[in-house]
Amino acid sequence: MIDSKSVVSGLDKMIENPRCELEHRTPFELLVAVILSAQCTDKRVNQVTNELFKTHNKPQDFVDISQEELEEKIHSCGFYHNKAKSIKSASQDIISRFGGKVPDNFDDLLTLAGVGRKTANVVMAVAFGGDNFAVDTHVLRVSNRLGLVDTKDPNKCEEKLCKIFPKSEWSKLHYQMVLFGRYVCKAMKPDCENCVFNANCPSSRIGVPPEDLKTKKDAKTKK
């Protein structure tokens, strides 16, 4: 395990000014983009929303559009039926319950269709400057590989990370871990050679023969 101070300093060296890579202009556009990003890359979501937001960028726009037409527009993001349904339902709730504006309260965000803890945390941190620690697949993978947590449960991971790191670092660390996981500590082929943590990381593959890597992987699978 690498201590929390080393994680903060290491990520600050590698990713000095992290930012959300989902393109958006308003809290509502961000909400839609995050819903679309489930099991989809930010790059693909941006390709879709670049066209979508030209004509549909307010809650009423998504209430008025048919389910079928919205599904067609977001088809390439995957899970398009459920995502379209969630976006339309969330839009209706935002209009009827929150005066047409995305709520800036975590608990209220969780009441919207398609919004779980990760989505609510992202919206709070990015759109409203809150101190929130969103856990997505990258944060979960990086946290486990660095030895910060030992769980596959995103909620338990979030709880542990919030205890390890000071609140003022949460939102920044989230995006640093996302970008670190996306470009360095990748799922299939982590770039351990260029990782600032490679000397102390319990999951580092530097200097480990291929046959030993397979043994380590099999051992983890049997746990």
Task: Give me the active site residues, please.
Answer: 118, 136
DSSP three-state, residue 204:
coil
Is residue 75 within 8 Å of 111, Cβ to Cβ? no
Distance in angstroms (rounded) separating the CA atoms of residues 138 and 178: 5
Q: CA 4, 9, 14, 18: dihedral to nearest 10 degrees?
A: 80
Q: How many CA atoms lie within 13 A of 179 on its CB side?
A: 18
Angle between helices 154-164 and 117-128 (to 10 degrees): 40
Distance in angstroms (rounded) separating the CA atoms of residues 126 and 108: 16
The conformation of residue 194, written as its DSSP 8-state character, comes to G
Distance in angstroms (rounded) separating the CA atoms of residues 33 and 204: 33
Alpha-carbon 25 to chain mean position: 18
Distance in angstroms (rounded) separating the CA atoms of residues 122 and 136: 10
39: left (phi over 0), alpha (psi -120 to 50) or beta: left
